[in-house]
Amino acid sequence: MIQQRIPFITPEMYRDLPDQTTEILNRLITEVNDNQTQLTEITNTLIVLRQMIAEMPQPTPPAPSGGWAQVLNFDVDNMGTTPEMCLQNTRLGFGIMQGFYTSARADMTAQAANGTLHFEVPPSNIAVPIYYNNAHPGGHVCAWDHGRIYSDGVEYPSINAVDSGYAGWGELCDNTRVVSPAN
């Protein structure tokens, strides 16, 4: 929000007004300016609070009673290996050619908001993206393929060997469904 201050009225500006009127108008202008400052502070605080709420982990949705059905298979041979492009690399492993989000963190945050992010270790019978809430501004995502973990085309022995801050796994990868509840 851009704050526009109202300038004070000076006696030179309105010589015909008595000094008392100028003083009253300047007090009113001061109050308006103070209120604008308070409104800007309140708006900025609300923006920060909205961001904090968006980043809060949501409760894990319950696993479907019938387990999970693979919608898109993962192929490590198709996984990208471009440094700093983990979301694209993982997406390509699932055969998803077009991207939707600009970062792994944006993808993870969207899944947390729509209830498709799960916070436990993924089941061993599916392939899904797994997310890390690390210090990198874009976060990190890699693939869990039936218990094997791949990050940028490299296999890792465990979830924690890839990066710190494991945040969960998603039913979607870059806004495209890779597993569905089995019925």
What pLDDT score was predicted for residue 18?
A: 64
At 167, which helix (H) or strand (E)? strand 166-170
Residue 90 pLDDT > 60, yes or no? yes
| CATH class entry, domain 68-181 | alpha beta
What pLDDT score was predicted for residue 17?
A: 63
Residue 95 pLDDT > 80, yes or no? yes
173-181 mean pLDDT: 95
Phi/psi zone of residue 153: left (φ > 0), alpha (ψ -120 to 50 degrees), beta?
left
Residue 35 pLDDT > 90, yes or no? no
What pLDDT score was predicted for residue 34?
A: 79
In the chain, what are the domain boundaries? Answer: 1-56, 68-181
Asked if 86 and 24 touch (Cβ cutoff 8 Å), the reply is no
Residue 43 pLDDT > 60, yes or no? yes
Residue 130's CB is within 10 A of a number of other CB atoms, namely 26
Structure confidence at residue 121 as a pLDDT band (50, 70, 90): very high
Give the CA count within 13 Å in the CB-facing half-sphere of 9.
18
What pLDDT score was predicted for residue 135?
A: 84
At 71, which helix (H) or strand (E)? none
Residue 141 pLDDT > 70, yes or no? yes
What pLDDT score was predicted for residue 171?
A: 97
